[in-house]
Amino acid sequence: MLEEIRLLAELSNAFGPPGSEEDVREILKKELEEHADEVRVDKLGNIFFYHHGGDKYPKVMLAAHMDEVAFLITFIEENGFLRFHTLGGITPNVMPGQTIILKGEKGFVKGIIGTKPPHLMKEEERKKVLPIEELFMDIGAGSVEEVREKGVDIGTTGVFDVKFAELGGGYLRGKAFDDRAGCTVMVQVFKTLKDSPYNLVAVGTVQEEVGLRGARTAAWQVEPDYALALEGTFAGDVPGAKPHRMSARLKGGPVITIADRTTITHPKVLRTLIKVGREKSIPFQFKKVPSGGTDAGAIHLTKAGVPSGTVAVPCRYIHGPAAITHVDDLRNTISLVREFVKAISTT
């Protein structure tokens, strides 16, 4: 198995709701500890890997968020069903019937987002998307006491329960590719530059999905000269999509953001990305729909400002139970980011 695929599989299977990123953090630590000059975790849970280079080179920060869209238990029904909210954007149309996994006080608890049997639904009920208020989780408990006995309580968090799989032909399926694909890119780039003369800080950030929160405090501590947010972004190349609305497609290479809701990519960062892509013959594409936001949105407004941008691995179906990406996109993103770090450090 390719090293990139092994790592994406491990990261994808890890549990990491916003605010509970510890399992993902441990994987990043295990991968990069021996390659970094310095490793540090801050009070919010961001993890920093420093590669100290020569004084004449700028400090380049790579950020990949460790959290994934998740569920938060907010109420326990008397008969043991759980009511919930989301942490990050999950739309109710992808929820009913999905298997989920919660991390309680006594370990992992499996369950499902239940629905009324279709046999008992009225005709119009079958056609409509149920709002989240009408959905519930079933973890196999018949009372509040039985729920607590499993270690689950109000405030417990959970994620979709989907295992990583290779689909053949280079296609990969798994949960949380947003942003474990970005985490994979960050780890691989850091490893390939560990003996370089450049100054690199790789940061696994927390709580991106609820508003770029970890990146804000992380950038304040790092004070980078340049920053790149590494992401898994949406690809819209599915049946019914219009070319100008699909934004990005699989096997089209890394997705470079020009502008989104939170950032306009700094001209020097954008020019450098395009230049290295062309010079090194690495395929790339642009994000064509300026929606969404990334850690770059928080980073670039830090202190006196940080020239920043975003590069992402295209992934279909992000923020749903599972996404699909292609290994070529993963590998080309790693190449583009590695060449970017070299180029921005020397120009």
Q: Which spans of this chain sit near Co ion (rule: CB under 5 A)?
A: 178-179, 231
Nearer to Co ion by C-beta: 4 or 231? 231
Q: Which of 64, 42, 39 is nearest to 51 (CA)?
A: 39
As measured in angstroms, the least distance from the Cβ of 153 to Co ion is 28
As measured in angstroms, the least distance from the Cβ of 231 to Co ion is 5
Q: Which of 21, 31, 68, 208 is catalytic?
A: 208
Buried b (16+ CB within 10 A) or exposed e, 188-223: bbbbebeebebbbbbbbbbbbbbebbbbbbbbeebe
Is 208 marked active-site?
A: yes
Nearer to Co ion by C-beta: 16 or 53? 16
As measured in angstroms, the least distance from the Cβ of 221 to Co ion is 21
SS3 87: strand
Nearer to Co ion by C-beta: 178 or 260? 178
Nearer to Co ion by C-beta: 161 or 231? 231
Signed CA dihedral, 91, 92, 93, 98: sign only? positive
Give the whole-angstrom CA distance, residue 64 versus residue 62: 7
> What's the distance, CA 204 to chain centroid?
10
As measured in angstroms, the least distance from the Cβ of 208 to Co ion is 6
As measured in angstroms, the least distance from the Cβ of 79 to Co ion is 36
Conformation bin of residue 21: beta by default, left when phi > 0, alpha when psi is -120 to 50 = alpha
Buried b (16+ CB within 10 A) or exposed e, 132-154: beebbbebebeeeeebbebebee
Nearer to Co ion by C-beta: 16 or 104? 16
54, amino acid identity: G
DSSP letter (8 states) at residue 85: E
Annotated active-site positions, please? Answer: 208
